[in-house]
């Protein structure tokens, strides 16, 4: 078994450039995981919204949501573009959540 390659600074920049197009106000934080690989956190301005985590593992780029201190997997994607498209949909659902609306995760 071999380690998956880390996310790259270029992928982080792609995600950062996409954030202004998301519903709501989000920022990007970069962290290093225990094995030294890059982990990206998409964090909301509002405390009522969850944080999203992007990392690599066997099978692609992982996307997860951190809600109530529990990390929930959202899916694995082949490209950062796939992650961005999923995040756009998830952030739209989160920011429009209200009476009668269901969260996706």
Containing structural domain, residue 87: 9-93
User: Does residue 77 lie within any of the structural domains?
Assistant: yes
The number of distinct structural domains making up the chain is 1
Residues 70-93: b if buried by 16+ CB within 10 A, e if exposed: eeeebeebeebeebbebbeebbee
User: Does residue 82 lie within any of the structural domains?
Assistant: yes
User: Does residue 101 lie within any of the structural domains?
Assistant: no
Global model pTM greater than 0.75: yes
User: Does residue 88 lie within any of the structural domains?
Assistant: yes
* pLDDT digit string (tens) for the chain, length 105 residues: 445 678 999 999 999 999 999 988 999 999 988 888 899 999 999 888 999 999 997 779 999 999 888 999 999 999 999 999 999 999 999 888 643 344 554
φ, ψ for residue 88, nearest 5 deg: -60, -45
Residue in 46, 53, 54, 93 with CA at minimum distance from that of residue 69: 53
Query: SS3 breakdown of the chain: % helix, strand, coil, rounded to 5?
Result: 30, 35, 35
């Amino acid at each position: 078994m071999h380690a998956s390659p880390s996310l790259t600074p270029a992928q982080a920049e792609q995600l950062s450039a996409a954030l202004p197009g998301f519903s709501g106000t989000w920022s990007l934080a970069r962290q290093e995981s225990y094995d030294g690989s890059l982990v990206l956190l998409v964090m909301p301005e509002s405390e009522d919204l969850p944080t999203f985590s992007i990392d690599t593992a066997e099978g692609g780029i992982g996307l997860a949501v951190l809600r109530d201190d529990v990390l929930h997997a959202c899916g694995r994607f082949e490209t950062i573009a796939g992650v961005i498209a999923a995040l756009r949909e998830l952030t739209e659902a989160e920011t429009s959540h209200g009476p009668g609306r269901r969260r996706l995760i």
